[in-house]
Amino acid sequence: MLTSPYAPGSPIWAELSTPDIQGATAFYNGLFGWSFMSAGPDTGGYGMFRLGARTAAAAMPMPADEGPTSWFLFFRTPDADATAKAVHQAGGSVLVGPMDVMDFGRMAVLTDSVGARFALWQPGSNKGLDVVNEPGSLCWCELYTPDEAAAYAFYSSVFGWETTSMPMPDGSGTYRMMNPAGQGPEAMFGGFVTLGSDPAEADSGPHWQMYFAVRDCDAAVVAAGKLGGTVRVAPTDIEGVGRFAKLADPYGARFAVMRGVEQDA
C-alpha cells in the first residue's frame, strides 16, 4: 500500500489537468467530498483538492487545445536533476527539465522508455499528499505499457523498484507489483498491465492510471453518472483484492475507484 512519509521512488502527488476547475471541483466534491483551495494568486489557477483539512490531490487549468484532460502522477526523488539524468540514460525522455516551483519543491516532466508520461517531485515545503489509502484518496496505481519487461527495466534503473508477482485469480496470468527500493512487499503501490489486455484501455497509449479508495464502489459509480461522468468499466470483483470500477470525469480524465477487501476486515 502507499506509505507516508514517502520513500524515494514512491508516488507522492496526483494532479488533474482540466479545462474547467469549477466543474471538476463540483464533480469530485460530489464523488469524493473534495473541496478546492487555491495555491495562491501567483500559481496560474493551480490549487489543491482537500479532503477535510488534508490535501488528497491537486488540479491545474489546462485549455482543451493545449493538452490532454488527464490525471498525472508524480514520484518522489531526493534529487530531481540526478533522476532526470537517469531517465535520459535509461532511454526515457525529459519533456520539461528540472525546475523550482517557488519554495514548494523541484519538479520535472518525463516519459519512460516506452512512452508513458510521469513527473518527479523533490520536496521543499510541500512534502506530498496529506492523505492516501483512505476513502476519497489515492490508493493504487497501474502502468499500462506495451512492453512490461522494458518498462520494469526502465523504472528499476531509474528508481530501483523491486517487484512481486502473484497469479491472477482468473488464471489469466500473473500480475507484477512494484514497491520502492528496500521497502518490502508491504509498501507495494501499483502494478504493471500489458496495454491491449484491457479493452477499456484499447484506445489509449502507454499511461499511468490512478485508483482512489471509496467506501462503496457501486454507489460511487452511480454518483459519477449523476454528476456527468462516464462509466468505462462497471463494478467488478477481484478475488482477494476488492471491487473496482473505471470511470472518466465530465471532461474526459480517466481514473478508477476501488473498495479493497481490507476495508471489510
Tens of pLDDT, residues 145-201? 999 999 999 999 999 999 998 877 666 678 999 999 999 888 999 999 998 888 888
Is 219 in the same domain as 188? yes
Domain count, the chain: 2
Is 116 in the same domain as 153? no
Which of 78, 95, 123 represents a domain boundary (last residue)? Answer: 123
Question: What band does 265 get if pLDDT is binned at 50, 70 and 90?
Answer: very low
- Quick one: DSSP state of residue 159? H
Q: What range defines the domain where residue 16 resides?
A: 11-123
pTM beyond 0.85, yes or no:
yes
pLDDT, tens digit (0-9, with 9 covering 90-100), for 70-98 = 999 999 999 999 999 999 999 999 999 99
Peptide bond into 180 cis (omega under 30): no
| Within-domain flag for 164 | yes
Is 118 in the same domain as 155? no
> How would you classify the pairing of strands 54-61 and 11-18?
parallel
Residue % of the chain over a pLDDT of 70: 96
Dihedral pair phi/psi, residue 55, rounded to 5°: -80, 120
The secondary structure of the chain in percent helix, strand, coil, rounded to multiples of 5, reads: 20, 40, 40
Angle (nearest 5°) at CA 129 between 124 and 130:
105
The amino acid that residue 24 corresponds to is: A
Is 35 in the same domain as 144? no
